[in-house]
Structure 1
């Protein structure tokens, strides 16, 4: 795997994302969706943070520790009106 750079959620606004899907296996995409829904429940009920690892358009890999407020069909909503495209997310822990 590529080097993972940790960033603050406020830096996400400066990143560009690709439309390509970063997970090729259907099983991994289903697991990602399950983990995102779990993160949303933890965020809304307990204000717990999760680590989201994602890839940008220039294929750099970043990790952010944040609270997930909502999961849509295409994007994950974070605090301060920030969004990450679901297709860019590699892992949720």
Structure 2
């Protein structure tokens, strides 16, 4: 994978996300879910930011730096009522 393109979190509204899961194994998905839970705690307790790397519909990688405000079964909730589908996320740093 090439280096992800750094964008502002507000720009995710312009991105079309894949309909399918971008990770290939159940273990990778469970690991991502645990990392998202940690990032949620970091955001709520310390207002800390994380870097989320994700793919668009054409498999272009993007990265945003943001605070995670909430999680649902399907989405990551960001400040400004922005939603990022979990299925598109490759990594959390």
Class of the TM-score when normalised by the shorter of the 2 chains: over 0.9
State the match for 1:51 in structure 2: 51
Instruction: Return 5+ residue gaps in structure 1 as ranges.
Output: none
Q: TM-score, normalised by structure 2?
A: 0.96
TM-score (norm 1): 0.96
Q: Secondary structure at the match of 1:2?
A: coil
Cα-to-partner distance string for 1:30-86 (whole Å, 9 max, x where unaligned): 110000000001111110000000001121100000000011100000000101100
Which secondary structure does the structure 2 equivalent of 1:80 belong to? Answer: coil
CA positional deviation for 1:3: 3.0
Shift of 1:27: 1.1
Matches within 5 A, 1:15-34: 15-34=15-34
Is residue 78 of structure 2 the alignment partner of residue 78 of structure 1?
yes
Q: CA deviation at 1:6?
A: 0.6
CA shift for structure 1 position 2: 2.7
Deviation at residue 18 of structure 1 after TM alignment? 1.4
Deviation at 1:92, TM superposition (A): 0.5
RMSD, aligned α-carbons: 0.7
| Corresponding residue number in structure 1 for 2:3 | 3
